Every structure is written in C-alpha cells, then in structure tokens.
Amino acid sequence: MQDSNTELVKYRIKQAKETISEIEILIEKGLLTIAINRIYYGMFYMLLALALKKGFKTSKHNQLIGWFNKEFVKTGIISQKFGKIINKAFEDRTDGDYGIFIHFEKEEVLVKFEDMKEFIAELETIIISE
C-alpha cells in the first residue's frame, strides 16, 4: 500500500508540473479564462499530493483547501500568502467556469501564473522534506 501511495503522490506532482506547460500555451494563445482554470488545477493537484502524503482524503475542493488552511497556514508551517493564493485561485476558477461575462486581463493572469508556480514549488518542498 505504501508503494502505491508514493506513486500516486509522484503522479499528482507530475500532473501539477505538467499544467505549467499547458498554461504557457494557453496564455500565448490568449485563452485566459481556460488558463485561470488550469492555474487552479495545477495547485489543486499539488494539494492532492500533499494530502496523500499526510493521509488526508477527500474528493471535495472546499474540504481540501480548508484542510490545507487549517493544517499548514494557520499553524504557520507555510506563509499565509499561500493560503490567499489558493483561495483566490479557487474563486477565480469558479467565476471563470460558472460566471457570466467574466474577463481576465493577460497581466493579471501572468501574475496568477507566477503565484501558482511559487505555490507548487513551496508545496513540493514540504512534501519532499517529509
């Protein structure tokens, strides 16, 4: 069981990192709302990897983010900045997927993309150090 969990953690990390290349293409093509979706999902995949590593299981996005905020942000293990990044990314993804007449500016998406890459790197550091 341990080996399959380790492999699943690695798979989720790989998924998170692969979204970086996807997002670069989406931004280049001007598909900014889809890029916002992928920015969130890149972070979501890394959160799944962290949760698997820690033995937390859920299929609910809100529960996963809540767990992360409670266990890592509020305890000071990780900067509050990362809690804000994932919370805003979830909100943006929801607005982009379900909102009406939602528009994101390229500059805004580029900032969120950089935040996402930093989030992924920070969580990977935590996962590897365990």
Quote the domain boundaries for residue 103.
Answer: 2-129
> How many domains does the chain fold into?
1
**Rounded to whole angstroms, what are the CA distances from 22 to 42, 113, 129?**
10, 11, 27
Of the candidates 86, 36, 97, 84, the residue with the CA atom closest to the CA atom of residue 61: 86
- What pLDDT, on a 0 to 100 scale, did the predictor assign at position 63? 97
- What pLDDT, on a 0 to 100 scale, did the predictor assign at position 2? 61
pLDDT digits (tens, 9 = 90+) for 9-59: 999 999 999 999 999 999 999 999 999 999 999 999 999 999 999 999 988
pLDDT digits (tens, 9 = 90+) for 77-122: 999 999 999 999 999 999 999 999 999 999 999 999 999 999 999 9
CB 119 within 8 A of CB 86: yes
Instruction: Using pLDDT thresholds of 50, 70 and 90, give the confidence band for residue 4.
Output: confident
CATH at residue 120:
1.20.120.330
E-only strand ranges, the chain: none
- What pLDDT, on a 0 to 100 scale, did the predictor assign at position 1? 45
99: which 2 tokens? 């909102």
pTM equals 0.93
Place of tokens 């994101």: 104
